[in-house]
Amino acid sequence: MKLQAKIFGLGLVLVAGMAVAKDGVTNPVVKERMDLMQVVRVNTGTLGDMAAGKAPFDAARAAEAQAALVAAAADIPAKFEPEETDPVSEARPEIWMMFDEFTAKAKSLEEAAAAVDTASLDGVKAGMGPVGASCKACHSDYRM
């Protein structure tokens, strides 16, 4: 059982790793940060689907998705630190004018994700509100 959970976890990590940025991005630095956002999206989706009853609740899967989301959130500042752009990028220049504030918003997501109680469906339901709010808080200021 333990081993099975581990194998399943590995599968999820691979799925997360396959999340890809939008077509046509050519700047590799921008592609990397878009790929990171897709990892954020995929893992938020796993938890969100459980919360919405679109997927059965599975505590082990929820914990894996949470760990991947926390790790991805923690990686946001490093991936966005270089001020790079691309014709398809939706990043606003304000990111680099107010990088401390941007970083604080990444931290809010990291904390909201870490606070999700993945042991129960009610915990996931309660925890996803603040997670979603932290996506929105950053996107409304820093994403076109």
Residues marked as binding for heme c? 135, 138-139
DSSP secondary structure of 18-79: H--PPTT---HHHHHHHHHHHHHHHHHHHHHHHHTTSS---HHHHHHHHHHHHHHHHHHHHH
- Of 1-9, 36-44, 52-60, 122-130, the window that binds ligand HEC (rule: CB under 6 A) is 36-44
106 binds ligand HEC (CB under 6 A): yes
- Which of 79, 6, 7, 4 minimizes the C-alpha distance to 39? 79
Locate 81 and state its tokens.
Answer: 């630190």
40 binds ligand HEC (CB under 6 A): yes
* Per-residue contact string for residues 56-95; x = within reach of ligand HEC by CB under 6 A: --------------------x------------xxx---x
* Residues tagged in the binding site annotation: 135, 138-139
- Which of 135, 137, 139, 110 minimizes the C-alpha distance to 45? 135
Residues that bind ligand HEC (CB under 6 A): 21-22, 30, 33-34, 37-38, 40-41, 44, 76, 89-91, 95, 102, 105-106, 109, 131, 134-135, 138-139, 142-143
